Amino acid sequence: MPEIAEVETVRNTLKKRILHKKIVDFKVFYTPILLDDENYFKENLIGKEFIDIKRIGKWLLFETETHYLLSHLRMEGKYYLKQEDDIIEKHEHVEFVFEDGSDMRYHDTRKFGRMKIVLKEHLYEFEGIKKQGLEPIDERLSKEYLKEKFQKRNLPMKTLLLDQTIISGLGNIYADEVLFDARISPFKKGCDITLEKCERIKKSAKKIIELAIKDGGTTIRSYTSSLGVTGRFQTHLMVHQKEGEFCTICGTKIEKVFVGGRSTYYCRKCQDTFEISLEQYYLDLLGFQKMPEFLTKYLSVPCLLRLKKVGYFCGMDYASKHIYSFKEYISRYDHSLSVALLTYKLTGSKKEAIAGLFHDVATPSFSHVIDYMNGDYITQENTEEYTEKILKNDSELQKLLELDHIKLEEIINFKAFPVVDNKRPKLCVDRLDGIITSAIGWTKNMTQKEISEIINHLAIYENEEKEEELGFTSMAVAKKVVSINKEIDKLCHSTEDNYMMNLLATITKRAIEKGLLTYEELYTYHEIECFEILNNAEDKELQNLLKTFRTIRNVPATSYPEIKRRKINPLVKGKRMMIEKNA
């Protein structure tokens, strides 16, 4: 089906070939294509010439002095430029004959295309034009516009992107590509799309359509131009018609599903599948009606935004499905935001909340894989030395901190706030959220009801060292958290996890040795950028390692050095549990 890029290519091509040619005859061989009487077309076309060709969405507008001939190509419509004495071929339904003996023919194997004649002043009275939404390349298309259109719609995003009253010109191909580029699930409901996701959709739609127009559209089996123009955008397609092929970003197989009756291609790992945004989930869970205003301005700081594409599970979201089966993709940004909100809920301190928000900015791509590279199996704190450097290099963050009268050093030294972070086996917000996050996505042994119960039984106590520490008001809840943490620790010490962490460490180390990445770039690139570099590497051994990482079914039995034990021994009503066996 021709979409906005293909229709724009037809428009640009025809403008060079048929403008200012007098129309001497108009012939119709299949009248249902015309939305007006055939004689009305003849009266307003014969003796006239097209002075311009415009486009609104997927509608072509052939302009005369007084009227527009509107043409929608639908599924298979094409225009051929021939000579009048050439034989009329099958499926050529309309012929425009020009004074110089040339003609333009409308060809449509499915006969779905439509044409209409309207006076210029009545153009926007025609339903097909009047209801058109903004185009992807329209400067008026904003995140606020999209949010307004989506917020009351309980339909999947794939369906909404095909709604021409919202975004005009997107069809099945580009809707798939836009959602992939924006990392949004085709199943996600419009009413659950955040303003930030609207911004991603806006940017992705503009980028993809501009590139597609530049490349002359997409030439695939379902639509091929007839004007000597071969679209090249199909060479850029990431998911559409790629069923069974490996995602070039993460290596997961592209899946084909049906959404709203339309074939849809997507990557299960790269495109988030949360039923509601994690941001909204956290706000609802902690009883916030909206994001605290003082936090909002910090959410677009560059060093924090990078964490949206750094996964919580150390790059294993992209590993073999036979080894890992995470429920959801959860990013370090999600974790950081949760830490900030919970800290603010418990302490009421804006400073501590902001420190919590930025406590993970020095997380490299693949997170603790770098500890395996460096042999830091026990403390796993190799990355934290970069915190100061990253925060000092973010000028936007420093400006915001100045406005809030907060010293940068206080955010760098986030460990000065023991509610945010402290040493094991004590409990802190960072550690508790790590347990909850792992239980949601990895071990899958914690329900939403249990999460709410945990949050409702939290308190801050003074511990044996006379410092503040997070604890529980209920022994039963404390025991539940300790038990779940034990299951997570067991997985972290499993042969499978150690093998895969070491394998990705080997891959990353080889990429650095081959000059594909630098050690420092692990702290500036996000994981998708890193995998793009790895995937495009011409090193055969590296590609073999990547293939193993993505497809391995059974890991070999291997011994590994002792790694970090994730013990906790929390306070309950101000007193230590002292359950060393389970701690």
Sign of CA dihedral 14, 17, 21, 24: negative
By C-alpha distance, which of 216, 218, 195, 295 is closest to 10? 216
Residue 90 burial (CB count, 10 A): 7
Q: What single-letter DSSP state applies at residue 493? A: T
Residue 518 burial (CB count, 10 A): 12
- How many Cα atoms sit within 13 Å of 214 on the Cβ side? 9
Spatial contact of 339 and 377, defined as CB atoms under 8 Å apart: no
Which of 23-27, 54-58, 101-105 shows the lowest per-residue confidence on average (mean pLDDT)? 54-58
Q: Which residues contact 162 (CB under 8 A, 6 or more apart)?
A: 170, 171, 172, 175, 260, 262
Higher pLDDT, 544 or 215: 544
By C-alpha distance, which of 126, 149, 127 is closest to 198? 149
pLDDT at site 564 = 64
Would you say residue 223 has pLDDT above 90? no
Q: What single-letter DSSP state applies at residue 441? A: I
Largest Cα–Cα distance in the chain?
Answer: 99
In whole angstroms, what is the distance from residue 428 CA to residue 419 CA? Answer: 5
Which residues are marked as active site? 2-3, 58, 262
Cross-sheet strand order for the sheet of 102-107: 23-28, 92-98, 102-107, 78-83
Would you say residue 563 has pLDDT above 80? no
Tens digit of pLDDT for each residue in 410-421?
999 999 999 999
Would you say residue 450 has pLDDT above 80? yes
Tens digit of pLDDT for each residue in 318-350?
888 889 888 777 889 999 999 999 999 999 999
Tokens standing for residue 320: 């073999």
Spatial contact of 164 and 131, defined as CB atoms under 8 Å apart: yes
User: Of the CATH numbers 1.10.260.40, 3.40.50.1820, 3.20.190.10, 3.90.1010.10, which one belongs to the domain with range 4-130?
Assistant: 3.20.190.10
- Topology of domain 143-221+230-266, per CATH? Helicase, Ruva Protein; domain 3 (1.10.8)
pLDDT at site 105 = 93
**4-130 and 143-221+230-266, same CATH topology:** no
Tens digit of pLDDT for each residue in 155-201?
889 999 999 999 988 888 889 999 999 999 998 889 888 898 999 99
Residue 384 burial (CB count, 10 A): 16
In whole angstroms, what is the distance from residue 300 CA to residue 112 CA? Answer: 46
Spatial contact of 501 and 372, defined as CB atoms under 8 Å apart: yes
By CB atoms closer than 10 A (0-12, 13-18, 19+), residue 449 is exposed
What value, to the nearest 5°, has the Cα angle with vertex 34 and ends 28 and 38?
55
In whole angstroms, what is the distance from residue 9 CA to residue 11 CA? Answer: 5
pTM across the whole model: 0.59
Tens digit of pLDDT for each residue in 148-164?
999 989 888 999 999 99
What average pLDDT does the structure give for the chain? 87
| Domain boundaries, given as residue ranges, for the chain | 4-130, 143-221+230-266, 277-418+494-562, 422-485+566-583
By C-alpha distance, which of 149, 181, 189, 182 is closest to 168? 149
Q: Which residues contact 37 (CB under 8 A, 6 or more apart)?
A: none
The average pLDDT across 490-506 equals 92
